[in-house]
Amino acid sequence: MDILNMPIVKEYLRTATQLYNHGWAERNGGNISMLMDGDFSDMPVLRTIPFSFDAADMIGRCIMITGSGKYLKNVEADPENNIALLRICDGYAELLWGLADGGKPSSELAAHLLSHSARLKADPSHRVVMHTHATNAVAMTFVHSLDEREFTRTLWGMATESIMFFYDGVAVLPWMPCGTDEIGIATAEKMADRRVVVWAHHGVFGAGSTPDEALGLIETVDKAAQFYMMTAHLPVLQKINDSQLKEMAAVLGITPRPGYID
């Protein structure tokens, strides 16, 4: 099978470069995973990779994911060394393609697999989970309350289109060590009913049906956060109020997260 000529894989590779160009993927920061549709049963197993968390819901699924310690800026130029195609089994993954230099999948594998499981239950069209160090969203976690309702309301109020694209709200996790099963489990719990999870002082997880959609969602959150960071220290003379948020939701035909608008 010609993995690299699949249109969705080309989009995946291009998105990795875009994350780096945004300045959101310094060194080995950030990772992307994508559920792969299709029959990969004829591909030989190159090696197996054990993991310690329960991903029973994902057994049999194939997933493309960036490698641990890999730089997103190198993914498009050298995909075979920087990403992996895995088939998920009970307690381990089978490497079907990639990581040719002997590397491992992202250290955030738990967060990705468990988040995919959670999002599929909410949205059968779900395919992509993306983690990146979105600059303004991370900066906002240092100066804004981490209360999810207040965090979301602030972002909704900063840009007219915010409520359109993340009407389900933004989840926020307090600082936790990254690369652990614990942060993966906590992220997946939030992903059960939201598509964006902010890791305080670290980064953002976003989900979507395609790499473009997941990236666009995070871009929308970060732009609203940028507006907040540019204006938080200034006198606010006018803003998008709750009445206007309700009006916008009615125009769009969407239902904002219950209890988030007064």
| Nearest alpha carbon to residue 159 among 243, 80, 111, 225 | 225
The bridge status of strand 31-36 relative to strand 83-88 is: unpaired
Answer whether 100's CB lies under 8 Å from 81's CB. yes
Neighbour order of strands in the sheet with 31-36: 47-50, 92-98, 83-88, 62-66, 31-36, 128-132, 203-208, 196-199, 171-173
Query: Which helix (H) or strand (E) segment is 35 a member of?
Result: strand 31-36
38: left (phi over 0), alpha (psi -120 to 50) or beta: left
Can 219 be counted among the known catalytic residues? no
Which residue among the candidates 11, 76, 80, 108 is catalytic per the annotation?
108
How far, CA to CA in Å, does 125 sit from each of 116, 120, 241, 248? 11, 7, 33, 26
Contact of 59 with 91, CB cutoff 8 Å: no
Residue 114, token pair as written in the block: 């468990």
Neighbours of 50 (CB within 10 A): 8
Q: How far apart are the first and last CA of the chain?
A: 53
Catalytic residue numbers read: 108
